[in-house]
Structure 1
Amino acid sequence: MASSLARTILFTAFLFSTLAIHEAVADGNSEDTPSLEEIRHRLKSQKLTRLQFYMHDLVLVSDPTSVKVAGVPGSNRTTVNFGDLYVLDDPLTAGPSLTSTAVGRAQGIYSFSSKDSITLMMSVNMVFTGGKYNGSTVTVIGRNAVLNKVRELPVVGGTGAFRLARGFVQISTAILDAPTLSMVLNCSLYVLH
């Protein structure tokens, strides 16, 4: 009975969200909402864009960009454990120095999702704040095995110039400061949009 009720609730939620999406796309009256024809044209004329930038994940510093919001009972903020959850608002820069040209912010969450290795489950929006992609975003969701030299995570969507985006980002650790649990990540983003 409870299983049937849960399925009915999920189906109803799916139906309403599908109708809302259909209305938003079919309406086409809003300046921000592309028409179906515009979407079809974009799909036919997609291009591949490569962006190179650095992500600064600063944890145990005076002005952190990543903070622990949930964790294993009894753990403290200076260690990482399976189940720890962090919220981040990391600067994205053109070079590896925090003082190099700002290109955006990485905003989202990550959790330590493996009992046996330092592996994160990440859900991050790359929000670009400069240049021709100002105001556009790319959404990255996936597994980040931190100790691997190069990690690859999928791009699952985007907004603005990156509407209907798909692709991947390759991440490598450029700088690691173990005492502060902070790192600078070299990101190569490949987006089909």
Structure 2
Amino acid sequence: MEGMITVFGWAIFCLAIAPVYGEYYSETTPAAVAEKVTQLHFFLHDILSGENPSAVMVARSNLTNDDDSPTPFGSLFAIDDPLRVGPEPTSTVIGNAQGLYLSSSQDASKFTIVMYIDFAFTSGKFNGSSFSVFSRNPVTEGDREVAIVGGRGQFRLARGFAKIKTSFLNATNGDAILEYNVTLYHF
């Protein structure tokens, strides 16, 4: 009986001190790296038409079957759009934008999308780096701004904004060329 009390006593002792060793731990150290600001300028070519589109519809609401626009309300698109140095389809490719956008406006005259897109650079000074946009994009507005919410590589911990202008839009098939002026704050 005495051995059982000893074992029971040790079990209670171990349970009593366990919270001491299982506490949450964190450490904060001051950052020694200065924040940088980078300005970027490029063109995104979003092509829905042809044999090799860079954007494809992956889902569509059953309620918009009568809508014959290329981007009806409730439609979800997957993209792998080239980023180019100019608006010409033959200009040099410097990266690609991959992600999703959702047609989120019921009013066709105020066409708006919500986008999650990663802008990755595949050549030049920023090769291997990217930044991410997660924002509302009111496409029919002339000049608009979207939020940059992260990045990797040289754009680690990026935040900032992108000013977008439509350089070309074909309202019939949805093809668009968009000019991006980006301001990134990163480490």
> TM over 0.5: same fold?
yes
- Aligned equivalent of 2:177: 184
Structure with higher RCO (Cα < 8 A, 6+ apart): 2
CA-CA distance at 1:102 after TM superposition: 1.0
> Aligned partner of 2:31: which letter?
R
Task: State which of 10, 33, 42 in structure 2 corresponds to 1:53.
Answer: 42
TM score, norm. by length of structure 1: 0.76
CA distance in 2, matches of 1:127, 1:49: 15
Task: State which of 21, 46, 63 in structure 1 corresponds to 2:52.
Answer: 63
Change (3 A) 1:154 1:88: same
> Aligned partner of 1:80: which letter?
T
Cα contact 2:129–2:153 (8 A) shared by 1: yes
Cα contact 1:92–1:104 (8 A) shared by 2: yes
Structure with greater proportional helix content: 1
Deviations 1:51-94 (A, max 9, x none): 00000000022210000000022358863221100000000001
- Aligned equivalent of 1:145: 138
1:113 aligns with 2:104: yes
Cα contact 2:70–2:172 (8 A) shared by 1: no
- What are the within-5 Å matches in structure 2 for residues 16-95 of structure 1? 40-42=31-33, 45-73=34-62, 74=65, 79-95=70-86
Deviations 1:151-187 (A, max 9, x none): 1001100000000111000111001122221000000
Change (3 A) 1:93 1:77: farther
TM score, norm. by length of structure 2: 0.79
CA distance in 1, matches of 2:68, 2:158: 36
Q: Secondary structure at the match of 2:32?
A: helix
1:166 aligns with 2:159: yes
- How many aligned positions are there? 159
The structure with the largest alpha-carbon Rg is 2
Q: Which runs of 5+ in 1 are unaligned?
A: 1-18, 27-35
The two structures, once aligned, show a CA RMSD in angstroms of 2.2
Cα contact 1:61–1:180 (8 A) shared by 2: no
Kindly, what percent of the aligned residue pairs are identical?
A: 39
